[in-house]
Amino acid sequence: MPARSKAQQMAAGAALSAKRGETKKKDLKGASKEMYTSMNEKQLEEFAETKRKGLPQKKSED
């Protein structure tokens, strides 16, 4: 499932970095902290690898 906004893609990238031990979990905030606890590494990879071109900055409420 690809990210639906640039903000979501960046949050997934931060959470993935913490999952892999590249950054500290305590440095995560907001959505990235939630993603860290609720998603596995494979799911985070799918969100983080989404191309940012053409994505809105923030997801609109549907």
- pLDDT tens-digit map of 16-49: 999 999 999 999 999 999 999 999 999 999 999 9
Q: What is the structure's pLDDT at 51?
A: 86
| Residue 55 falls inside a structural domain | no
| Residue 32 falls inside a structural domain | yes
Q: Are 23 and 29 a contacting pair, CB within 8 Å?
A: no
Report the number of distinct structural domains present in the chain.
1
| Residue 12 falls inside a structural domain | yes
Q: What is the structure's pLDDT at 3?
A: 85
In 10 A of CB 59, how many CB atoms?
13
Q: What is the structure's pLDDT at 56?
A: 80
CA separation for the pair 16, 43 (Å, rounded): 9
| Residue 58 falls inside a structural domain | no
Q: What is the structure's pLDDT at 1?
A: 73
- Domain interval for residue 12: 6-48
